[in-house]
């Protein structure tokens, strides 16, 4: 039964105009950003090759080594698009999954046919996760093809594993917002209200919390740094920070509550956008960034379990909206 509900969910999603519009927007943005990134890699490669040819024509024997082009960083723009458009698409997908059944009155019909509530939710989730996995796989294929065909670079095994892990994180990030959206739609009696609440929660988690982390940092209060502007020594800086220990803990705690921040941190480390991870293997990066992986997985699991409870205990399902 779960599989049947899941299949129906996939068919329905491709009839949802709002979802299709956002999906088209995401794919266009992805293609543009990946192609631009691949062209940058190609330009860097061409520059290096032409300088090598020039040096060889001069008869130079000592040639400079190839610079680290880091082709996988071509996906950097993709992280930002997924952070916004990908999350919105996941929210629409999750909300529609539940609210359409309320709106059409089919929820009562399905549940009266001996389908357990948890089976119904699991089927819905499975269908939506399959859609998200398909979208992630499609963007992944576009990335690999563009990098090889346009960028003209041969990806190393480490690059391939890093990219695959990055797309895995992208899937988990979108999953969180689908689960959140389904959870809120399950609790709320009105689909439009649930969508509005989910979008507000998304704005808080993706924009307000990370901003609190960045802008409320004491040293970010003045351009050029608060401590250096005040002419403070490291000891004085230490003393000031010791006085604001609770504030700092609170600020960091708020930032840690943002799945967008967790997604950004692990993605930038995997894509080598953030310096310092070049020498690590892909699995070492995941090992170092395990907290970000947990930060993407644990909230989804927790919200899903709470959704079970909310749906199980809900008594007004058979009432019309």
Partner 1 sequence: MKSFKKSILLLSLLAIMLVSSVSTVFAAEVSAPEFSTGCNLSSGENKALSLFIQNADVAPHSYTLTAGDSANSYELYFSTNVATVKSMTVPAGTGNQVDLNITLNGNASVNEDKLTVKAVRDDGKENIVNLSIIINKDYALSVKSMLDKINVLSGKSADFTFSVMNNGSQDLNNIKIKPELPYKWFASQGTEAIMNLKPGETGTTTMKIDVPNSQIAGNFTAKFTAVSDEIGSSLISVPVTVKTSSNIGYWMIGILILIAGFTLVQFKRHGRR
Binding site for partner 1 (CB under 8 A): 116-118, 219, 234, 238, 241, 248-249, 251-252, 256, 265, 269, 274, 276-277, 279-280, 288-291, 294-295, 298, 301-302, 305-306, 308-309, 312-313
Q: How far is CA 175 from CA 43, 90, 183, 203, 300, in A?
A: 36, 7, 12, 16, 7
Q: Please, which residue, 7 or 265, has the CB nearer to partner 1?
A: 265
| Alpha carbon distance 295, 66 (integer Å) | 37
Name the minimum Å distance from CB 298 to partner 1. Answer: 5
Q: Please, which residue, 46 or 214, has the CB nearer to partner 1?
A: 214
Name the minimum Å distance from CB 252 to partner 1. Answer: 4
3-class secondary structure for 126-158?
HHHHHHHHHHHHHHHHHHHHHHHHCCCCCCCHH
309 secondary structure, DSSP code? H
| Alpha carbon distance 128, 182 (integer Å) | 10
From the list 126, 102, 96, the residue with the least C-alpha distance to 2 is: 126
Q: Please, which residue, 25 or 115, has the CB nearer to partner 1?
A: 115
Name the minimum Å distance from CB 237 to partner 1. Answer: 8
Angle of the 245-256 helix axis to the 259-270 helix axis, nearest 10: 80
Q: Please, which residue, 86 or 295, has the CB nearer to partner 1?
A: 295
204 secondary structure, DSSP code? I
Q: Please, which residue, 181 or 280, has the CB nearer to partner 1?
A: 280
Q: Please, which residue, 37 or 259, has the CB nearer to partner 1?
A: 259
Name the minimum Å distance from CB 5 to partner 1. Answer: 16
Q: Please, which residue, 28 or 294, has the CB nearer to partner 1?
A: 294
| Alpha carbon distance 135, 170 (integer Å) | 10
Name the minimum Å distance from CB 273 to partner 1. Answer: 12
Name the minimum Å distance from CB 225 to partner 1. Answer: 9
| Alpha carbon distance 50, 2 (integer Å) | 58
Which residues, at least 6 apart from 219, have a Cβ–Cβ distance to it below 8 Å? Answer: 225, 226, 227
Residue keyed to tokens 């990946």: 34
Q: How far is CA 272 from CA 162, 196, 249, 265, 300, in A?
A: 9, 36, 28, 11, 26
Name the minimum Å distance from CB 200 to partner 1. Answer: 23
């Amino acid at each position: 039964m779960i599989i049947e509900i899941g299949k129906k969910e996939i068919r329905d999603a491709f009839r949802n105009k709002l979802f299709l519009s956002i999906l088209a927007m995401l794919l266009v943005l992805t293609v543009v950003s990946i192609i631009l990134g691949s062209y940058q890699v190609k330009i860097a490669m061409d520059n290096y090759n032409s300088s090598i040819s020039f040096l060889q024509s001069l008869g130079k024997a000592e040639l400079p080594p190839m610079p680290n082009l880091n082709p996988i960083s071509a996906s950097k723009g993709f992280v930002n698009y997924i952070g916004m458009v990908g999350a919105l698409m996941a929210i629409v997908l999750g909300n529609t999954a539940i609210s359409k059944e309320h709106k059409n009155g089919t929820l009562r019909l399905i549940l009266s046919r001996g389908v357990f509530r948890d089976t119904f939710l699991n089927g819905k989730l499975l269908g939506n996760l399959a859609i998200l996995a398909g979208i992630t796989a499609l963007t992944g294929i576009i990335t690999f093809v563009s990098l090889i065909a346009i960028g003209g670079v041969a990806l190393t095994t480490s690059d391939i594993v890093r990219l695959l892990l990055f797309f895995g994180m992208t899937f988990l990030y979108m999953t969180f917002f689908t689960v959140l959206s389904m959870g809120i739609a399950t609790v709320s009696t009105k689909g439009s209200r649930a969508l509005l609440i989910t979008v507000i929660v998304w704005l808080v988690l993706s924009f307000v919390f990370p901003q609190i982390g960045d802008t409320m940092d004491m040293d970010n209060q003045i351009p050029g740094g608060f401590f250096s502007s005040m002419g403070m020594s490291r000891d004085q800086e230490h003393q000031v920070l010791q006085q604001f220990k609770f504030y700092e803990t609170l600020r960091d705690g708020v930032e840690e509550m943002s799945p967008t921040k967790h997604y950004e941190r692990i993605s930038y480390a995997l894509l080598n956008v953030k310096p310092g991870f070049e020498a690590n293997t892909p699995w070492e990066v995941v090992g170092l960034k395990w907290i970000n992986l947990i930060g993407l997985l644990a909230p989804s699991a927790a919200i899903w379990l709470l959704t079970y409870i909310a749906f199980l205990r809900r008594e007004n399902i058979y009432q019309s909206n």
